[in-house]
Structure 1
């Protein structure tokens, strides 16, 4: 039976020497100080681990924000392009987030500005609206000035924002 306690003592000494080596203890004589140094070392390792976890979560948050920004840059919320093609004709391209009355708002804006739609292509997905239209300025009043591309762009943008 003495061999069992002897094996335990040898295992204890081996573990104690490993603990002393890992904790970089300066006191080699007392077991209590080695154990205390090991506890302090473990506590410091826990603090370092928490700091690394915080840094990791910050980096993940930064990555998500970056990806969101890149997605926003590549898929802007709203885009209105108006190009003048011939005298009185304009190509209008609208892309924006899907809303309740987006098409109605854009068509009412065309009507208010005396633009007649000759051809239009509209598509809606789960979250976006897009429209391409060929319009012409039609007015009964010969003194009314021609529309500028900037005016049409501004009016359609306002209509999309108000919807």
Structure 2
């Protein structure tokens, strides 16, 4: 049977290991665990950023494009430009807008020789307190739509 003294020693070693891994300077058990929790959240954030970068690089490698999303007072200005025609891409982008709850207030699209979309999208907040989205979320959704379109068009 393991004594209380051995259990405490093992717990102390584990806390010290956790403290060293997370670069914590805390002394109390609670503070060490809180620092570890913050460390894990920071790692998750970094992984999300890396995944976003991978999506951007993948999309841009398969289809050289320019994508700008700017936040405005009551919505976003979204511009997508590619050097080639992209039959069906507009549908994928509009579906992404719909999933985000963005209404297209104004748009200009050219799909003949090149694909060029300029759109103003806004959320209808009449229903009260809705989750806010930022330009980065819109950009990621458009990139994801372009990636889905690219994968679908490759299969044809």
Equivalent residues of 2:87, 2:111 under 8 A apart:
no
Q: Which runs of 5+ in 2 are unaligned?
A: 1-59, 150-156
Q: Which runs of 5+ in 1 are unaligned?
A: 1-71
With a CA cutoff of 8 Å and minimum separation of 6, indicate the structure with the bigger relative contact order.
2
Equivalent residues of 1:91, 1:132 under 8 A apart:
yes
Deviations 1:54-91 (A, max 9, x none): xxxxxxxxxxxxxxxxxx9xxx81121111121x3211
Deviations 1:10-64 (A, max 9, x none): xxxxxxxxxxxxxxxxxxxxxxxxxxxxxxxxxxxxxxxxxxxxxxxxxxxxxxx
Q: Work out which of the residue numbers 134, 139, 142 in structure 1 matches 2:128.
A: 142
How many residue pairs are counted as aligned between the two chains? 87
Q: Establish whether residue 132 from structure 1 lines up as the match of residue 118 from structure 2.
A: yes
Equivalent residue, structure 1, for 2:103: 116
Equivalent residue, structure 2, for 1:10: none
- Judged with a 3 Å threshold, the aligned counterparts in structure 2 of structure 1 residues 139 and 101 are, in CA distance, closer, same or farther, namely farther
CA apart distance, 1:140 = 5.6
CA apart distance, 1:142 = 2.7
Q: Work out which of the residue numbers 101, 110, 113 in structure 1 matches 2:88.
A: 101
Equivalent residue, structure 1, for 2:15: none
Q: Establish whether residue 152 from structure 1 lines up as the match of residue 138 from structure 2.
A: yes
Equivalent residue, structure 2, for 1:12: none
Equivalent residue, structure 1, for 2:6: none
CA apart distance, 1:149 = 0.4
**Stretches (4+) displaced over 3 A:** none
CA apart distance, 1:138 = 1.6
Larger Rg: 1
Quick one: distance in 1 between partners of 2:70 and 2:99?
19
Which residues of 2 match residues 48-59 of structure 1 at below 5 A?
none
Q: Work out which of the residue numbers 69, 80, 87 in structure 1 matches 2:67.
A: 80
TM-score, normalised by the number of residues in structure 1: 0.48
Deviations 1:81-103 (A, max 9, x none): 111121x3211101134223101
Equivalent residue, structure 2, for 1:91: 77
CA apart distance, 1:158 = 1.0
